[in-house]
């Protein structure tokens, strides 16, 4: 299960997320998202956990918990919305 973690401290690292979620089970990957132009954290990240039950326990336990002085948001990640050019073009064709 892919998990979203928001409101991260800008100094949080992949290793910090890995350690936090390993308390609940196996972690396949942990990534803090970095802004390409500034090289600075965007304040959110993702953790992948293969076992759904462990991931759900981590979400329940860690949502609204404190990490480095900030209350983090933890929930199941939603799939990224794609830019659907056909819907944009159909809107433009009406006018």
In a domain, 91, yes or no: no
Other CB atoms within 10 A of residue 83 CB: 6
Give domain status of residue 93, yes or no: no
pLDDT band at 82 (very low <50, low <70, confident <90, very high): confident
Evaluate whether residue 34 is within a structural domain: yes
Total domains present in the chain: 1
Distance CA 80, CA 63 (A): 21
Distance of CA 23 to the CA centre of its chain: 17
Report pLDDT digits (tens) over 35-64: 999 999 999 999 999 999 999 999 999 999
Q: Comparing 17 with 92, which gets the higher pLDDT?
A: 17
Listed in sequence order, the residues at least 6 apart from 52 whose beta carbon sits closer than 8 Å to its beta carbon are 1
pTM of the model: 0.83
Q: What is the pLDDT of residue 81?
A: 79
Range of the domain at 12: 2-72
Look at residue 44 and tell me if it is in a domain.
Answer: yes
> Each residue of 10-33: pLDDT tens digit?
999 999 999 999 999 999 999 999
> Is residue 9 in some structural domain?
yes
17 within domain boundaries = yes
Q: Look up the CATH number of the domain holding residue 44.
A: 3.30.70.330
């Amino acid at each position: 299960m892919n998990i979203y973690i928001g409101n991260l401290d800008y100094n949080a690292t992949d290793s910090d997320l890995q350690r936090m979620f390993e308390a609940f089970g196996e972690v396949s990957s942990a990534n803090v998202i970095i802004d390409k132009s500034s090289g600075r954290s965007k304040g959110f990240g993702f953790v992948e956990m293969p076992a759904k039950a462990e991931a759900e326990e981590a979400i329940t336990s860690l949502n609204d918990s404190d990490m480095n002085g900030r209350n983090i948001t933890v929930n199941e990640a939603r799939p990224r919305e794609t830019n659907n050019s056909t819907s944009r073009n159909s809107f433009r064709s009406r006018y």
